[in-house]
Amino acid sequence: MPRKKQYDPEEVLQKAMHVFWKNGYRSTSLRLLEKELGINQFSIYSSFENKHTLFVKALKRYRKYMREGILQVLIRSDGDLEDIRRFFKTFVDTIQSAKSPSGCLIANTAAEIGSSDHEIHKVLKEYFDMMEKIFLELLKKSHQRGLLADDINLRRKAQYLVTCTEGLSLSSKVMERSYHNAFISAVMDSLEK
């Protein structure tokens, strides 16, 4: 009869997400994972197969974390374009706060690994697709309300907003708030009818 696990795999996955978020994939050793997760290497392999699989699951957990958290202002929007501004400001504030000292896990991973790993690339692409869909739904509602130009290409604009989000995630680590406020205003100006 197998022994009962002395830890909660979901709680361990949440902790792993934060370890990878803080350190990146390559700088996170199994020894560091053991220390931060409070479980040994055997337990990591038993529950998650290996570091790579754990990282992929942590990326998926991050997608869920974002969808259930900061992205809700966009998801619940009735098409008010100011919800995009609110999202961007909250996103920058979160990255510049102690809550997220390492920026965006997705942007960090894209910069660190990019498309060199097929499985990780797939998860990154799924995240960007999710973001595009969320922005597209909000823009469709805005368009129906007459807040956007009739001839606007909504998909292209949604892709633009995803790219702006990820650019903000990187520049927020370096640039000051006034820089981002100006950038966000320029993005909002580009949406005006």
- The gap from C-alpha 107 to its chain's centroid, in whole angstroms, comes to 7
Q: 69-191 — its CATH code?
A: 1.10.357.10
Domain with CATH 1.10.10.60 in the chain: 9-58
Give per-residue pLDDT as tens, 46-56. Answer: 888 899 999 99
Output the pLDDT for position 40: 82
CB 68 within 8 A of CB 178: no
CB 184 within 8 A of CB 85: yes
Rg (CA), the chain: 19
Output the pLDDT for position 1: 43
pLDDT of 57 strictly over 50? yes
- Distance between CA atoms of residues 9 and 6, nearest Å: 9
pLDDT of 4 strictly over 80? no
- Average pLDDT rounded to a whole number, residues 168-186: 91
* Relative orientation angle of helices 30-37 and 41-48, to the nearest 10 degrees: 90
Q: 9-58 — its CATH code?
A: 1.10.10.60
Which one has a higher pLDDT value, 120 or 193? 120
Domain with CATH 1.10.357.10 in the chain: 69-191
Full-prediction pTM beyond 0.85?
Answer: yes
pLDDT of 6 strictly over 80? no
- Distance between CA atoms of residues 170 and 133, nearest Å: 22
